[in-house]
Structure 1
Amino acid sequence: MSPVLQIALTLGSVAALLGLMAVVRRLAAQWQISAEVQRKLVHVGTGLYALSLPWLFPDRWPVYALVGVTLIVMMVLRLPNSKLGGALHGVERQSYGDLLLAISVGLCLFLAGDDLYLYVLPIAVLTFADAAAALAGSTYGKRFFRVEDGNKSIEGSVVFFVITLVISMLCLMLMTSFAPLNIIMLSLMVAGFGTLVEAASWRGFDNFFLPLGLLIFLAVHAASPLQELAMLAVTFALSIVAFKAISPKIGLTNHASRVYVITVFLLLAVTAVQNALVPILVLAAHAWSRTAAPCNSRFPDLDIVAALALVSIGWLTLGNATGWNAVSFYGMTSMGMMVGLCAIAVTPRSILARVAILAAIVLALCVVRYLVIGLNPDPANWNGPMWSVTVASLASATAVPSLVPQAFAQARVLKLTLLSLAIPLATYLYSIDYSGFFT
């Protein structure tokens, strides 16, 4: 297929999406269809089309262009005077699901590579199981549990589990050569993990965390022996029980504790244990700062989880896109987030105590980084230990919150994340070799 034809097909795809939304709006006006059902109809239609993309486009670049154009269109539809946007944004709760769905499609297709089941399975679950769970819960739900911006139903979660189990078994049987028992175990784990992610998500973040979480889980563990899969399932179940017991003691809601379990599990799936240690400690530092110096965020525990997930997947995607391993820079970013949160946590103390505590934390983080560098393979350390960059990043993340803590009373996690990203990201973009990108 020629590039011109692929560009035309890309633009036609956007037109088809707008046409679908127009049809849904017209049918809703005639048949009194609720805003939630309208949104899910568009969701299913978009997901069905997304499943055809690997076969519809022979190249990947038109798909990424399609995702970019779709994001622009979705932003336009969010304008107050947009009539078509009502099919997506008519629900009362605030949701970023439309934007996150487009981003997830592009990221999943990129990260899946030639293993198409890593793309098809997560997108199929997101398309069918998520929509069925929402509709079943809103129609037949009688037993509800609380999340920060609303309620979800047990009935919806059961429907999600069953449909995800069926989709997983079909995809793995038809698209892989895994042993039957492994397929059953993987399908049960995908259904269980996916159900927990869907039940714990908020503001449409399931459109991001669900497909990316399933893809990462399958990419790391799909080829594992049956015994390892069983041990992983037991570990995950025990983690849920442990967090449920600990969460009331550290002021976490039940929802936040479930989200923390998912986050820790995904961190361990994305990278080796030594590289996941500091990101996990970021959660502990956040719990400390939230208690010692509360911020004005409505859901601070969810903010830090979203930031960690986005940073982790962002560095993973950037490393895959450039071919230059980004795990060392990911570690520096996590160190900056942790020390920044600790700097805010100690602001009520005396200056001498703050300096002593932060100096000890920075020293401990440097020791951890030294050990991690030794444990990681050579490709992870291709730019050397970068001690000067590490010290500069830690100094920045420590000094700014210490000097102007009032600036972090609002949007704390976002500001600290951007501050922690600045030096590692600039160094990474400066250090990689761009010559291979243009050949």
Structure 2
Amino acid sequence: MQQPLAFRMRPRNIEEVFGQQHLVGEGKIIRRMVDAKMLSSMILYGPPGTGKTSIASAIAGSTRYAFRMLNAATDTKKDLQIVAEEAKMSGTVILLLDEVHRLDKTKQDFLLPFLENGKIIMIGATTENPYISINPAIRSRCQIFEVKSLNETDIQAAIKQALSDEERGLGLYQTRLTDDALLHLSRATNGDLRSALNALELAVKSTQPDEDGTIQLTLAVIEECVQRKALTHDKKGDAHYDVISALQKSIRGSDVDAAMHYLARLVEAGDLVSICRRLMVIGYEDIGLANPAAAARTVTAVQAAEKLGFPEARIPLAQAVVDLCLSPKSNSAYLAIDGALADIRNGLVGEIPAHLKDSHYKGAADLGRGVGYQYPHDTPDAWVDQQYLPTGMTNKHYYQPKMTGKYEQALAHRYQHLEKNKKNRS
């Protein structure tokens, strides 16, 4: 039985990796490690199908080290011993350890000495947050890199290569993939290249050629093979972003019915990733300090939706949309950080007051670092009238409170009280 297209198209060297340019691009950390042949054990974490195994395979191909693959959950200590013996006899072995967060203590204790002496270069792969799910003993011996979902351009480039590659891909088939079908295939799989390639292979091998012997991969064919409907047949591909924009603007405008309509469009298209990301953005950008609890509830709803998957995910998502729509709204924090960033980017930074500078080192006091700093918790109101903003910026005001929710009203009263104290003591 032939191996799946996604398996066959795995990169043979670091140059063939699609996406993850923040790690494997020219001058970036993993590329530097490969070029210098100074590899260290690492943990790659991120969503499924984003290239964790591909990066490990590419590193091995570029360095020409032996490459072995094990699963921390299903493979045994004996399997690790076999890899260790190979490393002792032939030199360095790159070990891709999938589901590394499920490595038990027995296997971990066996593996640690080999990670220490560099005989085994472990590349752990996981979809879990390693800072939470992986034992500190392993984590401390590895560099941790986040692998991100591929963008449309990366996935489209991989699809085109798979269609043209006669040795590993589908180049022996005479295929025509329409522009709208390519666009939908690159979006509907939500950054998962494995899913995109496997759907492409199914489409090619299950579609009968036309009279000219050409396999016509239309939007309808791709919709069936990925089991997700396109939002529209608009070849320019604007509809995807239009619907997301309309969802946010409808929630911002407190129109529950309109927001529910646009949510339904995205649910029907199966775009869980875009929905979840956008709702969390809305929770903090548009609801903000008027109702922080709504933002927290949105995060909980998103987590539930991601655990449930469709079709059940629609229920917590709908609940979050109603909650956000009818919540009081404030963009004060959003405006405050953007105002501060604008000053930074325009070169307005100023000198940090000496009494705020780090004083936890020998000789700091001789330089005036931390001298004169007053500790607010030593005062009844937990507030001291001293300079915090950089020199030359003491009149800057970024945060302008709004009065649209009880929580921010309380913040506003506190803010106004402190501002009044500043004026009274000046």
TM-score (norm 2): 0.31
Which has a greater percent of helix? 1
Larger radius of gyration: 2
Which has a greater percent of strand? 2
